[in-house]
Amino acid sequence: MRRIPVLSLLFFLSLASTSALAQGLAESIRLSASPESLPADGYSTAVITAEVRERSGTLVPDGTEVSFSTSVGTVNPTSTVTRSGRARVRLTSASVPGTAVVTAFSGRAVRTLTVILYPPEEKAVQARVNVITVSGEYVAYSSELQVMQADGRVNIKLGAVEVSCSSAQIDLRRNMLKAVSPVGSEPLVISSGNTSWRGRGLWYDWVRRTGAIRGVEPPSEDVPESFAFVGPPFVRLPSGDIQPFEFEFRDLEEETELWIVCRWAAIFPGQRIHFRSAEIRPGGERLLRLRYHSLPLGETGDEDQYLGLGPSGIALDIPYYFSLSDRSASSVRLGLNQREGSFGAVKGGLGIDLRHRIFVGDRGEEVVNLSRITSGDWGLWWRHTRQWSGTLSTSAFVEYPSHRDLFATGNLDWDSPGYSGFLNLSANILKEAGSSYFGDLALQTHPRRIGASRFFYSFLSGTGWSGGPGVRDEIRQSLSVRISMPSLPLGKKSSLSASVTGGRVITGFRRGAKVDAVVSLSHRFAPTVFASVSYTLSDRPGLGVGASRQRASLLFSGQRGRTSLSASVTKALDMRSLTFTGQYSYWLSQKWRADIRTVLLRYAGYRFSDYEIALAYPVGQRELVLFWSRSRHRFMVELSGFSF
């Protein structure tokens, strides 16, 4: 194994100034669907939630625009704004089974989510594997390649699927498991429910829920030596053309600088990996041994070994885990210049936090954090997320910074046979300014077809309430009807969707008619090249003269070879307002990447524009950056987060 320095200097010229970031320019998006899969009946719906954060990791301000698209089916609306850092739209199923790839765009951030559309006569399927446990005599993780190698009495559990074998590789970027048991050893076994198969080679994609097995034992006239399958539930397919290279392992040695070696690991895809008895091995040589270790996989993990270096100075968030499993994580954390809760204010100096995290099966988590436990200005926060069933989910966040002011918000999403609903309750209890309370209840009937046409209708009800000192005591009630046209194919690669919602606000201080309309045309030039253009109309009582009622948007995202390009432009049609963001990336080599990013904001008399040119090199799970932007006219060093 080669010895290569773990830390490498890179140049990174940053695009957005701090003034742009303060306006809620998104840097990352986390997507979720409730439920996670839909029957392919053309009218069933799922709520798509985008949690949007700035570069600092804090939630973007209310009113940040988020745009959505889908490869099949339709999303409505195609553009909306955040509240409490989250934006929600509804995905309507297509009438053909398959996979809907939902894409969310905001600022610089782009994220995709897969929703499985299963045949209506079948039962709902679990769309994703939330936890993968791996054990063996030798388990090693390549930090650069995001591939885990396991050898010797290997056992792997992927939700309802279990695999036992001699050796395995788990590729987290490709969502691919490959396993082998050579002739002369016990055959590998893959099982789920009452179905199990034995063989010598296996590959399995846990997102697409497809795979193949070869060297099946014992040989049988009814079961071929090699075959493909789907599931769970497992269904054997006609053998088809199964290529030997699909079972081949990847050579990790030459491309890996940093290894983490253990005998047990729990993988939370896209989030983190938990290790027991971990050895950190840069260049293959033991540097550090930890009883427990947690490695973040995303860009904004909150369980990092974290070192930050930026304009505000050095920031630390270093945990020591005293308990770690696939169900929970407990840690004592040393922090320096840490941000205070969800509002992003930096708390100077050193502090010690105590955090306990419980994973509720594979459908949610509870996190309790006691901040600065040795200080007189200690604080507390609690976060809850739970998918109780395919039709019911809850989330909540309670924050008590410096044990002074209390902030709380809670959400309830549910889906019943005839309608769906969303309830949000929030409260701000301020020591010196009094209390304020807010509530929103939204109900919508499931879309029903209008005769034999392609159009559907549904009824909507919205109830809002606010009260307390400093806010207007008010109860608002609105009733609306929505007419929508799900995705209309225009050839093989283009589609058109439209919806119009009209109604009236019947109670509250601002009463009157309201209307929302969206028309969207999308085209897929290639499997990885997509564009859409949309028109949005929104008018309601109380909408000020400085607010736009009509907007046109253009989205583009494409990747081919070493090049990727994404762009988003939104222009108001009834006032002087324009937002444009774009990013061009080119991979110079497997690790070196060049970026050009630009942003343009225009609103009435305000104008801001900036650009950056970047040369990036990975450092563990993060990047060390030296950046310059046109608006700052200077170079600055930033370690945006380092972990091992």
Specify the pLDDT at position 431: 84
Output 15 or 383, whichever has higher pLDDT: 383
- 108: exposed, middle or buried (Cβ count in 10 Å: 0-12, 13-18, 19+): buried
Q: Is the pLDDT of residue 212 over 90?
A: yes
Which residues are paired to 437 by β-bridges? 427, 467
3-state secondary structure of 386: strand
Confidence of residue 19 (pLDDT cuts 50, 70, 90): very low
Specify the pLDDT at position 640: 43
Q: Which CATH number applies to 18-118: 3.40.50.720, 3.40.50.1220, 2.60.40.10, 3.40.50.300?
A: 2.60.40.10
3-state secondary structure of 129: coil
Helix (H) or strand (E) holding 139: strand 132-142
Specify the pLDDT at position 22: 33
Query: What pLDDT, in 10s, does the model give residues 556-594?
Result: 888 888 898 888 888 889 888 888 888 888 988 877 888
CA atoms of 336 and 316, how far apart (whole Å): 5
CA atoms of 603 and 606, how far apart (whole Å): 5
Residue 395: which of 379, 378, 412 has the closest Cα?
412
Residue 170: which of 136, 195, 196, 200 has the closest Cα?
136
What is the number of alpha carbons within 13 Å of residue 310 lying toward its C-beta? Answer: 19
Output 317 or 191, whichever has higher pLDDT: 191
Output 295 or 382, whichever has higher pLDDT: 382
Output 309 or 43, whichever has higher pLDDT: 43
Task: For residues 290-302, give the mean pLDDT.
Answer: 72
Least confident of 102-111, 133-142, 364-373, 548-557: 102-111
Q: Is the pLDDT of residue 161 over 50?
A: yes
Q: Please name the residue that has the structure tokens 């998104």.
A: 26
Specify the pLDDT at position 56: 59
Helix (H) or strand (E) holding 99: strand 98-106
CA atoms of 283 and 138, how far apart (whole Å): 18
Whether the Cβ atoms of residue 411 and residue 423 lie closer than 8 Å to each other: yes
Instruction: Give the type of residue at 70.
Output: T
Whether the Cβ atoms of residue 284 and residue 165 lie closer than 8 Å to each other: no
Confidence of residue 621 (pLDDT cuts 50, 70, 90): low
Query: What pLDDT, in 10s, does the model give residues 513-525?
Result: 999 888 888 888 8
- The conformational region for residue 41 under phi > 0 = left, psi -120 to 50 = alpha, else beta, is alpha
Phi then psi dihedrals of residue 237, to 5 deg:
-105, 165
Least confident of 3-17, 71-85, 329-343: 3-17
Sign of the torsion angle spanned by Cα atoms 249, 253, 255, 256: positive
Q: Where are the domains of the chain?
A: 18-118, 148-253
Output 237 or 343, whichever has higher pLDDT: 237
Output 447 or 150, whichever has higher pLDDT: 150
DSSP string for residues in 189-203: EEEETTEEEEESEEE
Helix (H) or strand (E) holding 21: helix 18-22
In degrees, rounded to 5, the angle at the alpha carbon of residue 42 between the alpha carbons of residues 38 and 47 is: 45
Global pTM reads 0.68
Specify the pLDDT at position 243: 76
Query: What pLDDT, in 10s, does the model give residues 165-185?
Result: 999 999 998 889 999 999 999
Specify the pLDDT at position 46: 83
Task: For residues 74-101, give the mean pLDDT.
Answer: 78
Average pLDDT value over all residues in the chain:
81
* 457-462 long-range Cβ contacts below 8 angstroms, 24+ apart: 457/481, 457/482, 457/483, 457/484, 458/482, 458/484, 460/501, 460/503
CA atoms of 174 and 246, how far apart (whole Å): 13
Output 55 or 382, whichever has higher pLDDT: 382
Task: For residues 112-140, give the mean pLDDT.
Answer: 79
Task: For residues 182-200, give the mean pLDDT.
Answer: 93
Least confident of 15-24, 224-233, 265-274, 628-637: 15-24
Query: What pLDDT, in 10s, does the model give residues 447-484?
Result: 888 998 888 899 999 999 999 887 889 999 999 999 98
Specify the pLDDT at position 107: 76
Least confident of 22-31, 273-282, 365-374, 540-549: 22-31
CA atoms of 572 and 469, how far apart (whole Å): 35
Specify the pLDDT at position 18: 31
